[in-house]
Structure 1
Amino acid sequence: MTEERIAHLLKAYQNGTATELEKEEFTNLLSDRDNADFFENLLDEQWANISEDDLKHFEFREQSAVLQRIKNEIHPVSISKKISFLRIAVAAAVVLCIVSIGFYLTKYNNKPQEIYFANDIAPGKNGATLTLGNGKKIAINDALSGNIANEAGVKIFKNEKGQLIYQVVEDLNSALTFNTLTTTRGEQTEVLLPDGTLVFLNSQSSLNFPTNFKGAKERKVTLTGEGYFEVTKNKLQPFIVASNQQRVKVLGTTFNINAYADEPHTATTLLEGSVNITNTNSQQNATLSPGQQAIISTQQLDVKTVETDDVVAWKNGYFMFNNETLSTILNRVSKWYDVDVVYKDDAMKNKTFFGSISRYKNISELLKVIQKTDVATFEIKGRQIIVSSTD
């Protein structure tokens, strides 16, 4: 998998499509001693693919541009590692020169056409709908600020960061009240629950929760779609998240749950602390360690190690696709940009792609990144994305 990733990043450099995140990732891979042998083989292959005729086109001014490009874009190996990494650092520098040569030769010989779209679609934004216990609905948007509502001893307001805040202002003797926070396609939001737990809700998701956890044996919420949780610790009052096919129990930790109904499975990924997962269909359970992900599909519960940065990329403002199928990628994209995806050939759904891009760019920029790798071609018609084969 690492070698496939390196090959992808190499191609991105040569095509001139590497993002800032990809450049940083490539540099880190070059600096890893475990990759030394692979880079030596890569070095040999790259030199073998550059002919003498090609090198004749690589004039002095292009060489200077390459050196400047490496200076501007590539972070040097840490000085503290210079002794143990000296061999790989030298090889890395040469590989980077070759990568840059490949970039300029591709540019010189092929002169690829710029990709244009007749129209474009803006990214999603912060927003949601809050449904109070009495059924009243309140639109949560950028224009809304300050105090929003008071319900059963709880003050609800939106702070300067755009977060929805629940603040208990008095003891409750009344019946327990539940609120629901819902995002549509093209929306995301944040809420700080009465116990101090922070929840990020992705597009087309909802969170149902009590306005106060006081006196309850557990802090239980219900999630549909995707949410990222930073749970406030309370050993005496476990935090429970009920979602599609599973029940997650924690005392205080950081984790992500993807429980969309249109996804093939429910995935819970742990970043910090510890969580216990129960498959509500089969009653199988597992306790996760940081960096692990529980996958639930009907009767099955499996645990694997994952790159957590990839999983929570959406919360940090970018898409990260790590050898994922086009159908999985575009399903995620459709929720954020509020678009429908149409495939001219269903076989396209299984094509795979590596890449990353900001969630706050127009959809055309994302589609260009994918299209430049020859995975597929795209057309934007209204709020539809038409996917075609490159063959």
Structure 2
Amino acid sequence: MQNREKHYIAEIIYKSITHTLSDSEEIILNEWLTDKEHFELYQRITNSDYIQSKLAIYQKIDANKIYHSLEKRLVESDKKERRLKIKKILRYAALVIILLGIGVIYNTGYFNSQPQLVFPNEKITLQLENGDVKVINEDGSSTVTNSKGEIVGSQTGTQLVYTDENNQDKLVYNTLTVPYGKRFEIQLSDGTVVNLNAGTSLKYPVKFIKGKQRTVFLKGEAFFNVAKDKTHPFIVNSDGLDVQVLGTQFNMSSYPEDVNSDVVLLEGSVYLTAVKDKGNSAILEPGFKGSINKFSQDKIEKKPVITSIYTAWIDGELVFRNITFKDMLKRMERHYNIEIVNNNSELKEEKFNASFRKEPIEKILEYFKITYGINYEIKDNKILIQ
């Protein structure tokens, strides 16, 4: 890439951070981000940990000393070289000003001046075949039994594993529910591993029965690593969309409040079918997302995506790409299990880009305040966007 192109991309990245991108620049940025290396670089640049580490360096700079040193070097240069150096200095100076400006808030004790948030510690629950509800203790272990008293599964920490070694001869279901603020992993009796995101429930057979399709029911978001079995298709039923696979890895998101049901495929292939119109179907290839409007049931739409954006939640990360403010706040509510009230209606449909790695919500809020000028306050254990 030529220097001119690098400077142009740098300028576009800066504009995306400061929310000043034009429509044409947004198209260019999205095309640039389709390259995996570019996407990883963008994540590092927009991550607040990265900004913090740079601040630690910039705060040690003796600004006057550097200025006089640069001034001396410029005087000694010829005019042409001087102009080039001035351009470079202006670029780096702008970056230093931006980063130091961000650092002011982080170092004035702003977080300490806000009321402390208290996050509800709701429990993960397992509804058994007879309707009884069992609380899952993430710090402990337990066993799951069927109506005959046979052990069908065991739980250790944040993982629940079902066994195929029992005499179950008919389909009976358990339902695992993960509240806001938590994630959980389950291994089904066929070896399929499912990671459940916050605010998600999965209904599944205690044991899959030979000769019958492997069908589970999802509300929320989950990542499926499906065990291969050519004779028994695996089907995920959600609100508006059925996903059929033989063995593959994909992410599915279909929260009750979402307009769309989305499937992002990492490997293998999946067959998508509209629940209300079986003729509305599509085959998805790796690296693509399939979406359907749950209400209108319009034609299933397919488009190429950067899959890591849609699976970052598994590692506790929040990645926002071209997402509306209202949808971003909803994801934050689920992730942290905290109520956020948006009193700024003008922001609802504005779109944002940012990446956060396991950071407290106060830092994320402050990032948006500094970068986009979005004010907030904490009151009655709620976050109020002003």
Q: TM-score, normalised by structure 1?
A: 0.72
Paired residue for 2:302?
303
- SS of equivalent to 2:372: coil
Which letter maps to 2:197? N
Q: 1:294 aligns with which of 290, 299, 311?
A: 290
Q: CA deviation at 1:261?
A: 1.3
1:188-337 correspondence to structure 2 within 5 Å:
188-283=183-278, 284-297=280-293, 298-300=296-298, 301-337=300-336
Q: CA deviation at 1:227?
A: 0.9
Paired residue for 1:139?
135
Q: 2:94 aligns with which of 82, 90, 102?
A: 102
Q: TM-score, normalised by structure 2?
A: 0.73
CA distance in 1, matches of 2:184, 2:38: 34
Q: CA deviation at 1:155?
A: 2.5
1:4/1:328 CA distance change after superposition, 3 Å: farther
- SS of equivalent to 2:354: strand
Say if 2:172 is the partner of 1:180: no
CA distance in 1, matches of 2:359, 2:68: 31
Which letter maps to 2:382? Q
1:10/1:229 CA distance change after superposition, 3 Å: same
Moved more, 285-294 or 308-317: 308-317
Q: Do 2:254 and 2:261's aligned partners in 1 also have CA atoms closer than 8 Å?
A: yes
Query: Which structure 2 segments of 5+ residues have no match?
Result: 1-5, 19-32, 42-61, 71-85
Which letter maps to 1:381? K
1:62/1:364 CA distance change after superposition, 3 Å: farther
Q: Do 2:140 and 2:156's aligned partners in 1 also have CA atoms closer than 8 Å?
A: no
Which letter maps to 2:312? A
Q: 2:359 aligns with which of 349, 358, 361?
A: 361
Q: Do 1:154 and 1:212's aligned partners in 2 also have CA atoms closer than 8 Å?
A: no
Paired residue for 2:383?
385
CA distance in 1, matches of 2:94, 2:36: 17
CA distance in 2, matches of 1:196, 1:363: 35
1:221/1:95 CA distance change after superposition, 3 Å: farther
1:250/1:327 CA distance change after superposition, 3 Å: same
CA distance in 2, matches of 1:222, 1:241: 6
Paired residue for 1:10?
14
- SS of equivalent to 1:373: helix
Q: Do 1:181 and 1:208's aligned partners in 2 also have CA atoms closer than 8 Å?
A: yes
Say if 2:157 is the partner of 1:156: no
CA distance in 2, matches of 1:4, 1:215: 59
Q: CA deviation at 1:323?
A: 2.0
Q: Do 2:182 and 2:198's aligned partners in 1 also have CA atoms closer than 8 Å?
A: yes
CA distance in 2, matches of 1:331, 1:290: 28
RMSD: 3.6
Paired residue for 1:47?
none
Q: CA deviation at 1:125?
A: 8.0
- SS of equivalent to 1:282: coil
Q: Do 1:228 and 1:255's aligned partners in 2 also have CA atoms closer than 8 Å?
A: yes
Q: CA deviation at 1:186?
A: 1.8
Which letter maps to 2:385? V
Query: Which structure 1 segments of 5+ residues have no match?
Result: 15-24, 33-55, 65-93
Q: Do 2:17 and 2:354's aligned partners in 1 also have CA atoms closer than 8 Å?
A: no
1:348/1:191 CA distance change after superposition, 3 Å: same
Q: Do 1:154 and 1:168's aligned partners in 2 also have CA atoms closer than 8 Å?
A: no
Which letter maps to 1:182? T
Moved more, 282-291 or 249-258: 282-291
Which letter maps to 1:101? A
Q: CA deviation at 1:5?
A: 8.0
Q: CA deviation at 1:148?
A: 4.3
Post-superposition Cα deviations, 1:290-345, rounded to whole Å, max 9, x if no partner, equal 11111101221111111111111111220001121111110111112222222222
CA distance in 2, matches of 1:180, 1:30: 37
Paired residue for 1:52?
none
- SS of equivalent to 1:350: coil
Paired residue for 1:130?
126
- Aligned pair count reads 322
Paired residue for 1:22?
none
Q: CA deviation at 1:235?
A: 0.3
CA distance in 2, matches of 1:264, 1:275: 21
- SS of equivalent to 1:225: strand
